[in-house]
């Protein structure tokens, strides 16, 4: 058996292989790197396109869903609003009927159909007029006998109410103390509310006291609630208090009112 040993041409072959490996390998690595870079870029571009497409699709779907939910919310809010309005009207109507049963007044129900938006005036328009027997200066109340104003203009089918906080509004009212009844004059201040005037600083006064009509004005019966004393002050040189009045009702929330008609005996 012949011994195994390397011959010279074997060594030469190995050397040629090694040299070839080290020379050729970089040429293969570079194309592979280029191919990998191209492949990665292509995949990234395709992924970006599909990702943007999916984002656009889902964004569109989200927008549609949001719009649907917004419309459903608006419908629900409208329904809830109508329900609240009906409940408020029913509550006010019950109070008015209860007041009518307790009082001796002749009441004519009316609905607010418009509000004045002119600066310097505060008026309501109701769906009752001369054909219903309404006249100027008739008092208008809400709920359980709360005075909100007086008729200032009458048409055949409609009438205008001057509210208490209108600058031209004036109503005689009174409040009670432990020992006496003190009268004053309610005047409108529009944006600043209602003031009670002509109350001497020598008279007792306190916050929260209710103010009611006195019955000394034509058509306006006694005992209609107007509001409550909220603030008052005076200077040593003043003859009368400066008194702020909190209205008994927020007129902006009213839709059903009653006009007090004179009884047949008056």
| Predicted confidence (pLDDT) per residue in 15-70, tens digit | 666 655 555 555 545 555 544 555 455 555 555 655 665 556 555 666 666 767 67
Q: Tell me which of 185 and 121 has the higher pLDDT.
A: 185
Domain 106-261: CATH class, spelled out: mainly beta
> What's the pLDDT tens digit per position in 240-252?
999 999 999 888 7
User: Euclidean distance between the first and final Cα of the chain, in Å?
Assistant: 154
115 neighbors 254 (Cβ within 8 angstroms): no
Residue 184: predicted pLDDT = 96
For residue 187, give the 3-state DSSP assignment: strand
Q: Which residues pair with 141 in a beta bridge?
A: 147, 258
Domain boundaries, the chain: 12-102, 106-261
| Angle of CA points 81, 82, 86, to nearest 5° | 120
pTM for the model: 0.64
């Amino acid at each position: 058996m012949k011994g195994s040993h390397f011959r010279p041409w074997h060594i030469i072959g190995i050397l040629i292989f090694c040299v070839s490996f080290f020379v050729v390998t970089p040429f293969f690595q570079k194309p592979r790197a280029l191919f990998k870079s191209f492949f990665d870029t292509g995949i990234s571009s395709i992924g970006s396109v599909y990702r943007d497409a999916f984002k656009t699709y889902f964004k569109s779907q989200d927008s549609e869903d949001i719009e649907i939910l917004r419309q459903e919310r608006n419908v629900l809010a409208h329904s809830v609003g109508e329900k609240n309005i009906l409940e408020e009207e029913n509550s006010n109507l019950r109070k008015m009927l209860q007041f009518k049963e307790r009082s001796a007044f002749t009441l004519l129900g009316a609905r607010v159909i418009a509000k004045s938006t002119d600066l310097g005036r505060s008026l309501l328009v109701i769906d009752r007029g001369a054909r219903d027997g309404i006249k100027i200066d008739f008092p208008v109340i809400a709920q359980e006998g709360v005075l909100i104003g007086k008729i200032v203009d009458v048409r055949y089918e409609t009438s205008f109410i001057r509210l208490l906080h209108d600058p031209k509004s004036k109503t005689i009212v009174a409040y009670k103390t432990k020992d006496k009844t003190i009268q004053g004059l309610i005047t409108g201040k529009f944006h600043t509310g209602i003031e009670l005037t002509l109350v001497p600083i020598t008279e007792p006064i306190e916050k929260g006291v209710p103010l009611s009509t006195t019955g000394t004005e034509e058509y306006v019966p006694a005992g209609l609630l107007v509001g409550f004393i909220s603030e008052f002050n005076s200077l040593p040189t003043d003859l009368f208090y400066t008194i702020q009045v909190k209205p008994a009702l927020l007129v902006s929330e009213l839709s059903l009112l009653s006009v007090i008609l004179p009884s047949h005996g008056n």
